[in-house]
Chains A and B, each alone.
Chain A
Amino acid sequence: MQNFASLPPLSLYVHIPWCVRKCPYCDFNSHEARGEIPEREYVDALLRDLEQDLPRVWGRIVHTIFIGGGTPSLFAHETIDRLLSGIRARLPLDQNPEITLEANPGTVELERFKGFRAAGVNRLSIGIQSFDEEKLKALGRIHGRAEALRAAEAARAAGFDNFNLDLMFGLPGQTVEQALTDIRTAIGLRPTHLSAYQLTIEPNTLFHVRPPALPDDDSAWEMQSRLQVELAAAGYRQYEVSAYAQPGYECRHNMNYWKFGDYLGIGAGAHGKITDASGIARLWKVKHPGEYLRTAGTAESFGGEQKLSRHDATAEFMLNALRLTDGFPSPLFQERAGLPISACEPELARAETQGLIEWNAQTIRPTPQGRRFLNNLLELFV
């Protein structure tokens, strides 16, 4: 039995499952919007869903909210306002919460962004992916270079001094120089946060069925090493595998995932993780938007629930926490996984022998080699 001295911080994830068009690389729970999106009904469903989850988190404060998708920015700002008000009415929020909304260029207008800001959203995450017209086309994105640039400018103009740009590298036919040009353009827009993902072909995507020609390992590695240098020089510190931020602007919501904190997940297919005296549970909602709309707030809306065993908790803690450049303070393991760190001493010792972690009484953190071969490191714990 795991043993918890205190409960971890709590976040809230809200999933909006619609997009204008499904991208060929995307394996998230997103669906092309056909006809009008039932915004009002969906927000009602989200709030019913939240009410049903409330007894699991009585009295706990929510520190961050992340509205992800899909493309949440498809929703009218009034809808987002109603959603956030509804959440505030049902849950105590931190005095200074981080509230992020995902936006895609092409659906953005300055007015809409201003509305989101006024509704209480204080961080935008913009899915730029690339500034290169040809690459955007290859990725099946609906926006072009001009829309991408405009989106970042609109974010700032709407009063978002804290925003993230999502970029990808290792794109079909991309050269190292092209990848660097994208990064430099992004840096030029002065976001507080940058995410740079290497494009990965996931199962159940169009790219998996018809794989595009991607740069080889050597060039992808060169892209990554060189963009890290560029980002560091511009003041963005890498704090996770794909996340870079100006000091103090690390994404609090994601940090909570990676530090194995708790979160409620509402919306179609949303996952939550909740700790209580009996242990850690994962729970998730039904995936399909239609079914979710019909069942939200009832027992039928649960896609499943799973108690984490000691082994599960260890594996999932490490899977998250070792993604962080700084690793984690050793006591955090007992605090979040509910087990003494000695429970995984043999694995830690092996990881250390292989040069994958540095380990002392205060901190456990991946070495540069461990960050580079994170999957080899994590395999020790799964």
Chain B
Amino acid sequence: MSGWNQERIRNFSIIAHIDHGKSTLADRFIQLCGALEAREMQEQVLDSMDIERERGITIKAQSVALDYHARDGKTYRLNMIDTPGHVDFSYEVSRSLTACEGALLVVDASQGVQAQTVANCYTAAELNLEILPVLNKIDLPSADPARAIQEIEDIIGIHAQDAARASAKTGVGVPEILEAIVRHVPAPKGNADAPLKALIIDSWFDNYLGTVSLVRVMDGRLKPREKIRLMATGRDYVTEQIGIFTPKRKPVAELGPGEVGYVMAGIKDVRSARVGDTITHVDRPADKPLPGFKEIKPRVFAGLYPVESSDYETFRDALSKLQLNDASLHYEPETSQALGFGFRCGFLGMLHMEIIQERLEREYGLNLITTAPTVVYEVATASEVLLVENPAKMPDPSRIVEIREPIIRATILAPQEYVGNVIGLCVEKRGIQKDMTYHGRQAMLVYELPLAEVVLDFFDRLKSVSRGYASLDYDFQEFRAANVVKLDVLINGDRVDALSVIVHQEQSQYRGRELAKKLRELIPRQMFDVAIQAAIGSKIIARETVKALRKNVTAKCYGGDATRKRKLLEKQKEGKKRMKQLGTVEIPQEAFLAVLRVDEK
């Protein structure tokens, strides 16, 4: 089927905080519209990666075209576009929202509004989307709809008295939401006769199909076997297949204005079909691309090294395969004296980094060492400005005129009773308060914070000082001059490049001492004493010793014991395989992330 009348199309997205029930609600919609047989319904149809299911988050945008028979007797095409749900992926969110005319704001009726939802709602409002509030989990005894409504009105600033009340779990109130979408979300208003403009919402790589792009046609029509141009890269392709997701992939003859679907055009990798790019026709191009395309830059960097150096090739292949599907993953070869050959990888944020690391270990069976995450610094020397993403590459202090660190603008929402703790944490992390407002029981704090402090453990700490209630959203703001130094670690007198970190001058002494202490706890006792030193330049600022074991012997071994004792030894040996041998010293993987575990003063 193709050529839907725009009057009958509704494109919408669901904005929700993690765990507020977005996926369950989406499943209900699919069920109500009869898009899948009951036996095909798998919990949370849309999150298709294992990691997405386990973590309950969405990484890749997806869409489902649903045919809804409304109470007015007409059939509507509802395109539900699922958006990533984490601060690391805010650009992707904005592109998904651009493809819609409306958004459902799903708020857990017992938990109220969270920062991530606020940020996405603001984005939706800026894009002039019609926002329909939905109070979910209304069946829970702790649900407090009146307070949730008050919060939506205070914080988001939209009318919420008529908010739909539903329980995605039981299904109560869900049909009313679909009706509200039909009634309140505006129909798209594209021009079918204008030159083609289609927005790439997301792209992914499929081993059998190649690159598949999810698109929203704004103007014009998109058909198979047409010459198309991607306006940001300027490259031309021929469309092979056009279709929609029902959620199963289903080819169609064309996608007209207002429609959402997929395009395959023999594109080799996802970097060539970037999120936010505009597709047009080669023979009748649009005069200018759709606004909002941004080159996304990684903000967090870490060195990744295979524990077994023989895994290097596998590792490189794995990264290149992951990159096929993830244009925001950057990597380049790096050599560490301590860890050998590896890659310096750039990520959108900490979650992105964890996901990539987990996929590498799980899907490719790699055993990896990750160095402490760091941000990119602008380092001005007398002759040039360098971007330094690896502490080991920091130029000699004598050459440095100025080091500038990335500053973010963070928006934190927290219940009033935790404001004191949150402010304390922000101060400790060198934050500068920019704004503080109260909305009902919630406070909204705006801070400028060094990204370097945030990538370490800010998010975990924020959760712990607020008992899990505070939420965070942030944007990159600028590079700003900072008084930072490189802190080195020496193990038995040898500098271990992979353990170097960049820290603020004022905290360097303390951090050095704590890092050495933490390493002493993490490095197991061995046959020899292990000396750990922290140094800034040539000055040793802390010293710790892992005392040698007194002995390591099994007291008894007779006859049949041998098999059992051997199994024990094998197990011990297996455990050590996860350690890195530096000279004669065995260092566990966690030690390379020790700096993350150093608490603030």
Using a CB–CB cutoff of 8 Å, the interface residues on chain A facing chain B are 13, 197-198, 200, 217-218, 220-221, 224, 241-242, 254, 257, 263, 265, 270-271, 273, 282, 284, 315-316, 319-320, 323, 354, 369, 371-376, 378-379, 382
Contact = CB atoms under 8 A, between A and B. Distances in A.
Contact of A200 (B551, B556, B559): B556
B550 A376 contact: no
Interface stretch (B58-66, B114-122, B456-464, B562-570): B562-570
Interface residues of B, number: 23
A375 B553 CA distance: 5
Contacts of A217: 549-550
Given A257-B559, A271-B559, A379-B576, 12 more contacts: A197-B555, A198-B555, A200-B556, A224-B551, A257-B558, A315-B566, A371-B553, A372-B550, A372-B552, A373-B527, A375-B553, A375-B569
Nearest to B527: A373
A376 B562 contact: no
Contact of A374 (B552, B558, B584): B552
B569 A373 contact: no
Contacts of B549: 217, 373
Contacts of A319: 557, 562, 565-566, 569
B337 interface: no
29 contacts: A13-B559, A200-B554, A200-B556, A217-B549, A221-B550, A241-B553, A241-B557, A242-B555, A242-B556, A257-B557, A257-B558, A265-B559, A270-B560, A282-B563, A284-B560, A319-B557, A319-B565, A319-B566, A369-B527, A373-B527, A373-B549, A373-B553, A374-B553, A375-B554, A375-B572, A378-B569, A379-B573, A379-B576, A382-B566
Nearest to B563: A282
A241 B555 contact: yes
A10 to B, nearest CB: 13
Nearest to B560: A271
Nearest to A220: B550
B529 to A, nearest CB: 14
Nearest to B526: A376
Nearest to A308: B563
A101 to B, nearest CB: 15
Contacts of B558: 254, 257
Contacts of B576: 379
A48 B549 CA distance: 48
Given A319-B562, A319-B566, A382-B566, A376 B555 contact: no
Contact of B551 (A221, A379, A382): A221
A220 B570 CA distance: 25
Contacts of A197: 555-556
Interface in B533-556: 549-556
Given A217-B549, A265-B559, A316 B554 contact: no
Nearest to A29: B560
A375 to B, nearest CB: 4
B570 to A, nearest CB: 5
A320 B556 CA distance: 11
Nearest to A315: B566
Nearest to A269: B560
Interface in B118-169: none
A100 to B, nearest CB: 12
Contacts of A198: 555
A13 B558 CA distance: 11
B553 A372 contact: yes
A312 B563 CA distance: 9
